Amino acid sequence: MKKVTTLLFFALLTFSYAFAQNIVSTDPENKNVILEEFTGIHCVFCPQGHAIGQAIKDAHPDDAFLINIHAGSYAVPSGNDPDYRTPWGAAIDGQAGVAGYPAGTVNRHLFPNWSQGSGTAMSRGQWTPASNLILDEASYLNVGLEATIVTSTRQLVVEVEVYYTDDSPNATNSLNVAILQNNIYGPQTGGGAGNNYKHMHMLRHLMTGQWGVEITQTTEGSLYSNTFTYELPMDYNGVPVVLEDLEIVAFVTEEPTQEIISGNHAPEITYVTSNDYDAAVASVLVPQTYCSDEVIPIVDLKNYGEIALTSLEFTYSINGGDPATYSWTGNLAQLESEVVELPALEFTPTDNNYVNIECSLPNGEPDQLPQNDYFNGFGEGSQNFPENINFGVKIDDNPEDVTWSIKSSDGTVIAEGGPYSNTGFQIAPITFPEIGCYELSLNDASGQGLSGGFYLITNSDNDIIWEGSDFTYDAKAQLARGMIVDIDEEITSDDISVHPNPVSNLANIEFNLTNRSDVSIAVFDILGKNVKTIHNGELDGGKHSIQLNTGDMNQGVYFTKIQIDSNVVTKKILVTK
C-alpha cells in the first residue's frame, strides 16, 4: 500500500548538503540493531526491559541503538505525572502489534516464533537473541551522521549520509531521524526508584515525520546525503529539553513493511555557543506549477545570528537551469523571521522538478553556520485531477488552528474547511465546477504543520492520487482539472547512472538514447557554479558512456546536470580524495 507521507508535488522539507564530508563508510558492513522499546511509567516490569536493552547496548556500543517509546495505557499520566508520550509513539506501537508491556521490536523485523501476537513486537526475553541474529546479517547500506547544536538559539543540525554497498530490493527506502533524551528523572512503577527513576534513550521527536522521508536512489554505489535543521523547544509536554542530554539516531526502513535495514547514531554532538552571522532558510514552500511555466518559491527566512540581519543574497534555480539571484534587505533581530517571496523563475515543467535555493553573505559577511543555508528538493510534474475528488487532512494536535480552501483562478472559493474541534481524519468531497486551474491553500496557525499529520486527495474510489508534504504555517498547491499540460515522456533519473559514486578519480555517466539527440553534460558545485562541461553536442541513438575525470576537482558534493534535448536530469555525486 502506498504510504501517505510520500513527498510529491512540492517539497517543504529543508534539504541541504554539507561541504566535503565523508560521514558514512563505503565498505560492506553487517546490520546495526535498532531496538524500539515500548514502555510506560506505570509498567511494573518495564525497568527490567530497560536493563535488558541497556545490556544489549553495552555489549555492542557501536552497533546497537535504543529508542524508548512511551506508548499505550501504562504511559498515560495520572495526577501530576509527567507526560512522556509523543505524537509518533501510538502509530509505531500500533504497527508493531504490541500485546503487552514492556515490548520491543528489533529492526521492526518479524520473528514469528517470538512475536507477542501477529506483529513484530516481542517480549523482553527475546530481544537479546533477536539482536544477535540481526547483528550477524549483512546490510546493503550504511548510515552515518553528525550533529551540531547552537546552544544560544537551540538550533539542531543533523547531517546524514546513506551509502548503498549493494542493491536494495525496493525502489525506495525511507530515512528516519530520531531525537532522544537521556537522564530524565521521573516516576516509574517498579525499579525501586519511585519518582526519581532515570529514564534513558527516551524518544522526544522525529525530525523526519512519522515514517521518514524517501530515498529514491537505492542501487549499489548510490549515495544519499541530507541535512535536517530543527529549532529545539524548551520542553515537550512540560518536560524540559536539556541540550546536553540529547542523542540522535538515524535509521533506514524498507517499504511497505517498515523493516529497518540498519541505523547509526551521532557519536558526539558538537555544541556551539553562538554565531554573529547565521541566516537560515528555515523552510521553503515550492507550490506545484502544473498550470504555468513559472515557479515562485516562498522562503521562511530566519536570523539566528546575534547581529541584526539587514541584507542577504539568494541564489535559486530549477532543474539545473541558469540560476536567478535576489538581494534581500530588511531588519531582523536574532530569532526573528520573515516570509520572503522570491521573484518568479520561468522553466519547462518536467516529471521531477529539482529546486535549489541558497542564501549567503548575511550583512556581507560569511555565514558561520552554512548547513542551514540550503534547500534542495524535488517536486513532481504535471497531473490532471478528475471532476470529483475527496480532500482529506489528518490532524494530530491543535485542530482549531487548521483551515483550508480551494479557489478557482478568479479567486472564487469552491470548497473550504476548518477550523476543527476534533483531531483525527477530516474528509470533504469536492466537485470541480469546470475545466481550469485551482489553488489549494492549507494553513496551520500554530506553525506545527499538522503536528505529524498529513493531507491528501483521493478519487471517487478512495484511491490516493495526490499527497501533500511537510510544512510549517502554510502549504499551497495548484490543481489542474481537465487541462492539457504539455509534459513530454522523458528520460528519468533512474535511466541514467553515475558510477562509481563516490568517485576518487574517474566515473562513467551511462545512458541510452532512442534517437539522435542533443546532449549536454555539465558539473556544478553546491553553490550552483559550473565547474566543468563534459559534453556538448549531438549523439546517435544507442548506449553511451561519458567519462567524468574528477582529478582537478576539490573533495565535496557536486551535481551533474544531464540535458538530453529538452529533458534535464540532475544526479548528485561525491568526490573523494
Q: What are the strands of the beta sheet with 542-549, ordered from one edge? A: 497-499, 506-513, 542-549
159 neighbors 178 (Cβ within 8 angstroms)? no
Confidence tier at 14 by pLDDT (50, 70, 90):
very low
Confidence tier at 7 by pLDDT (50, 70, 90):
very low
Q: CA-to-CA distance for 154 and 470, rounded, in angstroms?
A: 21
pTM (2 d.p.): 0.67
Q: CA-to-CA distance for 478 and 480, rounded, in angstroms?
A: 6
Q: Is the pLDDT of residue 208 over 60?
A: yes
Write down the architecture of domain 279-380 according to CATH: Sandwich (2.60)
Q: CA-to-CA distance for 307 and 303, rounded, in angstroms?
A: 9
Q: Give the mean pLDDT of 111-117.
A: 93
Q: Give the mean pLDDT of 168-192.
A: 95
Task: Look at residues 230, 197, 248, 210 and name the one whose alpha carbon lies nearest to residue 84.
Answer: 197
Q: CA-to-CA distance for 265 and 251, rounded, in angstroms?
A: 9
Q: Is the pLDDT of residue 13 over 90?
A: no
Report the first-to-last Cα separation within the chain, whole angstroms: 42
Task: Look at residues 289, 311, 446 and name the one whose alpha carbon lies nearest to residue 382.
Answer: 289
Task: Look at residues 214, 167, 190, 179 and name the one whose alpha carbon lies nearest to residue 11.
Answer: 214
pLDDT at residue 51, as a whole number: 97
What is the average pLDDT value for the chain, to the nearest integer? Answer: 86
Confidence tier at 487 by pLDDT (50, 70, 90):
very low
Confidence tier at 249 by pLDDT (50, 70, 90):
very high
CATH 2.60.40.3080 positions along the chain are 493-575
| Beta strands 64-70 and 33-39, pairing class | parallel
> What kind and span of H or E run contains 317?
strand 309-318
Q: CA-to-CA distance for 509 and 20, rounded, in angstroms?
A: 21
CATH 2.60.60 positions along the chain are 384-481
Cell match 518559491: residue? 297
Q: Is the pLDDT of residue 289 over 60?
A: no
Does CATH number 2.60.60 belong to domain 384-481?
Answer: yes
pLDDT at residue 568, as a whole number: 67
Better-predicted residue by pLDDT, 395 or 491:
395
* CA 550, 552, 554, 555 torsion-angle sign: positive
Q: Is the pLDDT of residue 11 over 90?
A: no
Cell numbers representing residue 558 in the block: 557536486
| Single-letter amino acid code for the residue at 42 | H
Q: CA-to-CA distance for 572 and 548, rounded, in angstroms?
A: 13
Cell match 508493531: residue? 96
Specify the fold of 493-575: Immunoglobulin-like (2.60.40)
How deeply is 515 buried, as exposed, middle or buried, from its count of CB atoms within 10 A (0-12, 13-18, 19+)? exposed
CA-to-CA separations, 25 to 10, 165, 268, 454, 491, in angstroms, rounded? 31, 9, 17, 34, 31
Q: Give the mean pLDDT of 172-197.
A: 95
Number of residues assigned to the chain:
577
Write down the architecture of domain 29-272 according to CATH: Sandwich (2.60)
pLDDT at residue 484, as a whole number: 46
CA angle 378, 382, 388 (to 5 degrees): 120
Q: CA-to-CA distance for 433 and 435, rounded, in angstroms?
A: 7
Q: Give the mean pLDDT of 104-125.
A: 95
Q: CA-to-CA distance for 391 and 455, rounded, in angstroms?
A: 8
CA-to-CA separations, 565 to 321, 518, 536, in angstroms, rounded? 14, 5, 11
245: phi then psi, degrees, rounded to nearest 5: -105, 10
Q: How far is CA 68 from the centre of its chain?
A: 22
- Please state, as a whole number, how many other Cβ atoms lie within 10 Å of the Cβ of residue 398: 17
Q: Is the pLDDT of residue 456 over 60?
A: yes
Q: Is the pLDDT of residue 17 over 60?
A: no
Cell numbers representing residue 131 in the block: 539482536
Q: Which of 196-210, 469-483, 503-517, 557-571 has the highest mean pLDDT?
A: 196-210
CATH 2.60.40.10 positions along the chain are 29-272, 279-380
Confidence tier at 483 by pLDDT (50, 70, 90):
low
Model pLDDT for residues 383-400, shown as the tens digit of each residue: 678 899 999 998 888 899
Q: CA-to-CA distance for 233 and 179, rounded, in angstroms?
A: 12
Integer Rg of the chain from CA: 24
Cell numbers representing residue 410 in the block: 478568479
Task: Look at residues 234, 244, 232, 245 and name the one whose alpha carbon lies nearest to residue 205.
Answer: 232
553 neighbors 560 (Cβ within 8 angstroms)? no
Q: CA-to-CA distance for 278 and 29, rounded, in angstroms?
A: 38
Q: CA-to-CA distance for 307 and 332, rounded, in angstroms?
A: 9
Confidence tier at 537 by pLDDT (50, 70, 90):
confident
pLDDT at residue 492, as a whole number: 56
pLDDT at residue 329, as a whole number: 97
Please report, rounded to a whole number, the percentage of residues in the chain having pLDDT higher than 70.
88
Q: Give the mean pLDDT of 18-40.
A: 85
pLDDT at residue 77, as a whole number: 95
Q: Give the mean pLDDT of 56-84.
A: 96
Confidence tier at 313 by pLDDT (50, 70, 90):
very high
Q: CA-to-CA distance for 430 and 441, rounded, in angstroms?
A: 14
3-state secondary structure 436-490: EEEEEEEEECCCCHHHHCEEEEECCCCCEEEECCCCCCEEEEEEEECCCCCCCCC
Q: Give the mean pLDDT of 263-282.
A: 94
Confidence tier at 321 by pLDDT (50, 70, 90):
confident
